[in-house]
A and B are shown apart, each in its own frame.
Chain A
């Protein structure tokens, strides 16, 4: 909503209030100021009167004008198509500096002297009112050649743009905003000029009659005017340009101006739309249309109240007899109907759905008064009116309740004054209790809390003291909090292990997911209105987001890309769960001395170590994921304490190539299955441990797991741990592979003797020989 200082001044006396105070007050009372713009005409711009205007002898598009600038007559060459003798125009005299910094100097234009410039609105720093030069008229004040334009307050105005919240339809007009200011400044609203009808006018009844069906929940008011042709005054044009109104003709400009001033919804129709012959009495019918909306009918539907006007009922000729309509429909009715039955709506729907001014005479009186003042039409006597019944709302409120919600004591008379200034009627039923009746234009006020909001914003939140809240309840360390802490723990570990936390939208592209073999949310449960084709479904995995990020990092020249994310994913049935994923692409280390600037690429093996740093001890089982991202011979199911927690794999070489990545390894697991439990310490031996290595030859295709199972079953209690430390193949070994396993031997009771160790190792070797047929190397 855009207001200007002088426009507001038509409804509230602002002479003792600075624009700065105005802006501060707007913010304090909940009308957030988005923009302030001051229009100031510079020095050296004067009112000029064009005495004569002739074509330039050598240039078709230029005119040579003689302009009276008060103390002299100047010759000025002007290129505008609309300059004409007799006009008052803004003239920048020699020496004037324009808002864009240009200084006016005497010049020759195609051989003709020009001493000054006739200005357009934009050249003066004003919004654009028309093509060509600005033509002045007395709507901005008395025009005398030579007067400085900066002395005309109405065109040196301050514009303030307010961001209105959705409940404040009552502030969608200059008068409405002024009404709110009245409460803040404790002033009274200036009245709409009383319009007294002249006698002996032809009555509207000779022209039109109004028929309204029962049950129509709307109000209308009609006047008729025989319009003469007219020019829109400059002040109106300028203000409409300031509010960026888009009007197609002079009548629309009048209506828009009156609507923005008063908040009443106004329309105009040609009278012939309601009658078939000029000697007939026309018939305006208000009834429900086929969709149940209250609509205005003439020969056909003229408009739907509160929604739009039909093209066929618009004015085409700016002269002749015109029907002016003011209408009101309650916003709760119109927005409910629209939500059930989406119709194409016009620009006014914004106003009607938020609540336009219900007092229709304010709008019509404003408009008709202007028509009379400017003598641009003959107004028919009387009016046609239909008003729906309006039930006044009453709300009871205790002063003590106000104080308890606000948290401080507010004086009773202050409360009463604020509500009165906002247009509420108050009756006291006791000293501590008010009955408040709500004005019709405040449809947003329905309960006592709404009233408190009004009081708070006028009192000012700055004037409420801050007080800590005291509440004695049990501390709530509970599941959601522990989940939060668990996430924090794993995030910290991942960061400490070199991974960067990454956050991605929970949206993926269905086509990409399908192509890679990921099952995503079933179509019938899918998004109705995705924002983009590449974000058209919910992600079933964190991997794609990380991969796409790795790919773009690589494009940006990153050689080493370690990323992780913990976030929500969704299955086919759209169930939400939390996953954690790690990705490492490209070089394992930064370029440095130790690797001569050529760090090795990450491998499944090196990534496994990093993953274990983040996740804890893990074991791997052969496993090929169902999706197409995994290298089928370098993929594994990841286990922790015997429980599967996720999958790990090298990126499939063809996907790697397609995404322009270096070698990439990834892990994804269910966050719920990751360990987050207290540790219970086990007994440990106080005696020295011994180490023995056993090197055996095994077939190359024998998985280590098979060897480990045999050892595990055969080992005696002294062998507390064993793990592979070396494996190699060469030509001499043929199909066999040498594997070295290291054994840790320790007893709870004593330091082991050599013979204890030998016998323990012999048991293991024997089992390997009998069960697997493997040999010592």
Chain B
């Protein structure tokens, strides 16, 4: 019997083990042969013989099953080993595309103001003189019109130079209170290193009863907004001039490149101009037929924000669809 124990223990593969199974447990196998001997054994010895034989049968079965399990595991391991891959060969690039940095920035700006309860308003790109200039306290002969080189059409229509006409259209359509932003493309006839004939603005407007809206309110929202966009920066308001607001201010943030120490980007001043704002000029309210109201307004260039946030050096590269730039925003 011992030789069969040894044979099971040393079987090297499933096939060999199967041969042994047939030789041991098969109909003509060793065990069957031994049990057949029972007939010729005297009755008084039968009990001992049968007991010993049954013990061998169960121990051989046990040894066989144990060996079978080991061999199955070894076979699985060998199979898997054959499937080994070199993961170092398989590094991947994402096949995703990307949103344009200017549009992403626009999305972030809109998200902020929507969560501050501003509504989003849009309007036509082709505008008339009234909505783009006249109603914004920019009469025909006003020198401040020089500030905005305009694309005109042959029929005296024009491409809007800012999104402010959307504010005028909203005020002429709706009653106060108004709390809105107008995101969109605007156009100026200027094309060089730092100007493109098209760029994007987000302008904001808030109007309520006379005496309710103050410069202090304007400061609050812009300080909060600029910290949301740029992180922990200092915010500075400088008095300035816009025909449609009064008092007016330009808003600077401490330079995000040098932290205010002075560098090339901020022209050594430590400050970067990012916004224009002010209290809405009464002439604007007069033009849209509002009485006894007060309000604030502000406006910003989205490309400038995107360039500062993502440290993009060349404005014109934003309009070239160049994948070398775009794929960085995946």
Residues of chain A at the chain B interface (Cβ within 8 Å):
27-30, 32-33, 165-168, 331-332, 335-336, 338-340, 353-354, 401, 404-408, 447, 449-450, 452-453, 456-457, 461-462, 464-469, 471, 473, 475-478, 480-481, 483-484, 488, 491-492, 494-507, 523-532, 535, 545-546, 549-550, 552-553, 556, 558, 561-565, 567-568, 570, 574, 576, 589-590, 593
Choose among B117, B211, B281, B326 the residue that contacts A502 (Cβ–Cβ < 8 A).
Answer: B326
One of B93, B125, B143, B281 near A576 (C-beta < 8 A): B125
Contact assessment for A500 and B102 in the assembled complex, using a CB-CB cutoff below 8 Å: no
- Given A166-B241, A473-B179, verify A562-B97 contact (CB < 8 Å): yes
Q: Which partner residue on chain B sits nearest A532 by CB separation?
A: B191
Across-interface contacts of A339 in B (CB, < 8 A): 140-141
Most chain A C-beta atoms within 10 Å of own C-beta, residue among B140, B210, B246: B246
Smallest Cβ-Cβ distance to B269: which chain A residue: A33
If A405-B214, A496-B96, A526-B154 touch, whether A549 touches B119 (CB-CB below 8 Å) is no
Kindly state whether residue B213 has any CB partner on chain A within 8 Å.
yes
8 Å CB contacts to A: which residues of B220-264? 220-221, 223, 236-241, 246-250
Closest residue on chain B to residue A473 by CB atoms: B177
A408 CB contacts on chain B under 8 angstroms: 214, 216
For A505, list chain B residues within 8 Å (CB): 196-198, 319
Say which residue of B185, B238, B247 sits within 8 Å of A28 (CB atoms): B238
Cα separation A549 to B238 with both chains bound (whole Å): 40
Complex CA–CA separation, A408 to B215 (angstroms): 9
The answer to whether B206 touches A506, judged by C-beta atoms less than 8 angstroms apart, is no
List of 9 A-B pairs having minimum Cβ-Cβ separation, nearest first: A407-B214, A407-B216, A549-B321, A30-B239, A165-B241, A476-B119, A457-B239, A502-B321, A461-B237
Contact in complex: A501, B326 (CB < 8 Å): yes
Q: Looking at chain A's contact residues, is the secondary structure mostly helix, strand, loop, or mixed?
A: mixed
> Which of B102, B191, B281 is close to A449, meaning CB atoms less than 8 Å apart?
B281
Pairwise interchain contact B121-A168, C-beta atoms closer than 8 A: no
Interface contact B216-A535, CB-CB below 8 Å:
no
User: Known contacts A168-B241, A556-B322: does B103 contact A527 (CB below 8 Å)?
Assistant: no
Q: Is the CB of B197 within 8 A of A527?
A: no
Q: Is B112 an interface residue (CB 8 A)?
A: no
- Cβ of A565: which chain B residues have Cβ within 8 Å of it? 321
What is the chain B residue whose CB lies nearest that of A458?
B239
Which of under 10, 10 to 19, 20 to 34, or 35 or more describes the interface residues of B? 35 or more
A393 to chain B, nearest CB (A): 16
What CA separation (Å) do A524 and B93 show in the bound complex? 51
Report the minimum CB–CB distance from B157 to chain A (whole Å): 8
Give CA–CA (A478, B30) in the complex, Å: 89
Q: Are B144 and A491 in contact (CB under 8 A)?
A: no
Q: List 18 interface pairs A-B (beta carbons < 8 Å), by A numbering.
A: A30-B240, A335-B141, A405-B247, A406-B214, A465-B216, A469-B206, A469-B217, A495-B96, A502-B326, A503-B102, A503-B321, A505-B198, A506-B125, A506-B185, A506-B198, A553-B322, A561-B323, A568-B125
A590 to B91, CA, bound (A): 13
Q: A495-B98, A500-B98 are in contact. Are A404 and B151 (CB under 8 A)?
A: no
Contact A500 B146, beta carbon cutoff 8 Å: no
In the complex, what residues of A have CB within 8 A of residue B142's CB?
A: 166, 335
| A495 and B99 contact, CB distance less than 8 A | yes
In angstroms, how far is the closest chain B Cβ from the Cβ of A460? 8
A453 to B282, alpha carbons, bound, how many Å? 13
With A32-B250, A335-B143 known as contacts, the answer to whether A528 contacts B154 (CB < 8 A) is yes
Contact of B318 with A503 in the complex, beta carbons under 8 Å:
yes
Contact B319 A461 (CB under 8 A): no
CB-CB < 8 A to A407: which residues of B?
214-217, 219
Whether A30 contacts B213 in the complex (CB less than 8 A), given A331-B143, A497-B97, A498-B95, comes out as no
Q: A497-B97, A500-B326 are in contact. Are A32 and B240 (CB under 8 A)?
A: yes
* Cα–Cα, bound, A214→B205 (Å): 48
Residue numbers in A under 8 Å from B103 (CB-CB): 491, 501, 503
Per the bound structure, the CA–CA distance linking A471 and B213 in Å amounts to: 10
| Given A335-B143, A505-B319, A531-B197, A467-B220 contact (CB < 8 Å) | yes
Q: Which residues of A contact B321 (CB under 8 A)?
A: 500, 502-504, 545-546, 549-550, 552-553, 563, 565
Are A404 and B143 within 8 A (Cβ)?
no
Contacts of A476 in B (CB 8 A): 117, 119, 179-180
Which residues of A have CB within 8 Å of B141? 332, 335-336, 338-340
| Complex interface: chain A residues within 8 A of B214 (CB) | 404-408, 467
Q: Say whether B249 contacts A461, CB under 8 Å.
A: yes
Chain B interface helix/strand/loop/mixed: mixed
In contact, A564 and B97 (Cβ under 8 angstroms): yes
User: Is B129 an interface residue when CB atoms closer than 8 A count as contact?
Assistant: no
Q: How far is the CB of A32 from chain B (nearest CB, A)?
A: 6
Q: Which residue of chain B has its CB nearest to the CB of A565?
A: B321
B81 at the A/B interface (Cβ < 8 Å)?
no
Query: CB of B54 within 8 A of chain A?
Result: no
Contact (Cβ within 8 A) B143 A353? yes
B35 within 8 A of A: no
Q: Give chain A residues whose Cβ lies under 8 Å from the Cβ of B191.
A: 531-532
Question: What is the CA–CA distance of A336 and B143 in the complex, to the nearest angstrom?
Answer: 10
CB pair A498–B96 under 8 Å, yes or no, is: yes
Docked complex Cα distance between A168 and B144 (Å) = 11
Q: In the complex the two chains form, is B219's CB within 8 Å of A471's CB?
A: no
A564 nearest in chain B by CB position:
B97
- Contact at A166–B144, with CB atoms within 8 Å? yes
The reply to whether B215 and A525 contact each other, CB–CB distance below 8 Å, is no
Assess whether B87 is interfacial by the CB under 8 Å rule: no
- Taking a contact as CB atoms under 8 Å apart, the answer to whether B185 and A461 are in contact is no
Let me know if B152 is at the binding interface, CB within 8 A: yes
CB closest residue in chain A, given B198:
A505
Q: If the complex has contacts A449-B282, A471-B206, A553-B322, are A166 and B246 also in contact, measured as CB distance less than 8 A?
A: no
Option from B117, B183, B219 in Cβ contact (under 8 Å) with A466: B219
Query: Taking the nearest CB of chain A, how far is it from the CB of B96, in angstroms?
Result: 6
Cβ-neighbour of A469 out of B90, B220, B327 (below 8 A): B220
A506-B198, A568-B185 given as contacts; is B217 within 8 A of A468 (CB)? yes
Across the interface, do A466 and B246 meet the contact criterion of CB distance under 8 Å? Answer: no
Query: What CA separation (Å) do A305 and B206 show in the bound complex?
Result: 43
Write out the residue numbers on chain B whose beta carbons fall within 8 Å of the beta carbon of A336.
Answer: 140-141
Tell whether, in the assembled complex, residue A481 and residue B120 are in contact, meaning their CB atoms are under 8 Å apart.
Answer: yes
Nearest Cβ distance between residue A626 and chain B, in whole angstroms? Answer: 24
Known: A447-B283, A562-B97. 18 other contacts (CB 8 A): A335-B142, A407-B219, A456-B239, A461-B238, A464-B215, A466-B219, A475-B117, A484-B110, A501-B326, A502-B100, A502-B321, A503-B318, A530-B151, A531-B197, A545-B321, A576-B126, A593-B89, A593-B90
Q: Quick one: which of B126, B157, B247, B294 has the most chain A CB within 10 A?
A: B247
Q: Which residue of A lies closest to B222 (CB)?
A: A466
Chain B 173-216 against A: per-residue CB contact (8 Å), 1 yes, 0 no?
A: 00001011001010101110000111000000010101111111
Chain B residues with Cβ below 8 Å from A450 are 246
**When the two chains form their complex, are residues A480 and B324 in contact, meaning their CB atoms are under 8 A apart?**
no
Among A30, A338, A468, A478, the residue within 8 A (CB) of B238 is A30
Q: How near does chain B come to A672, taking the closest CB pair, in angstroms?
A: 13
Most buried by A among B183, B221, B248, B321: B321
Q: Which A residues lie within 8 Å of B154 (CB)?
A: 523-528
**Inter-subunit contact A527/B219 (CB<8 Å):** no
Shortest distance between the CB of A591 and any CB in chain B (Å): 10
Which one of B97, B183, B240, B294 contacts A496 once the chains associate, using CB atoms below 8 Å? B97
A-chain residues with CB within 8 Å of residue B294 when the two chains form the complex: 404-405
Q: Establish whether residues A501 and B100, one from each chain, have CB atoms under 8 Å apart when the complex forms.
A: yes
Cα(A168)–Cα(B142), bound, Å = 13
Contacting residues, chain B, for A354 (C-beta < 8 A): 143
User: Taking the nearest CB of chain A, how far is it from the CB of B90, in angstroms?
Assistant: 7
Q: Taking A488-B107, A525-B153 as contacts, is the C-beta distance between A461 and B98 under 8 angstroms?
A: no
B102 CB to closest chain A CB (Å) equals 6
Q: What are the residues of chain A within 8 A of B114 when measuring CB–CB?
A: 481
Segment 90-143 of B: residues with Cβ below 8 Å from A: 90, 93, 95-100, 102-103, 107, 110, 114, 117, 119-122, 124-126, 140-143
Interface flag for B48 (CB, 8 Å): no
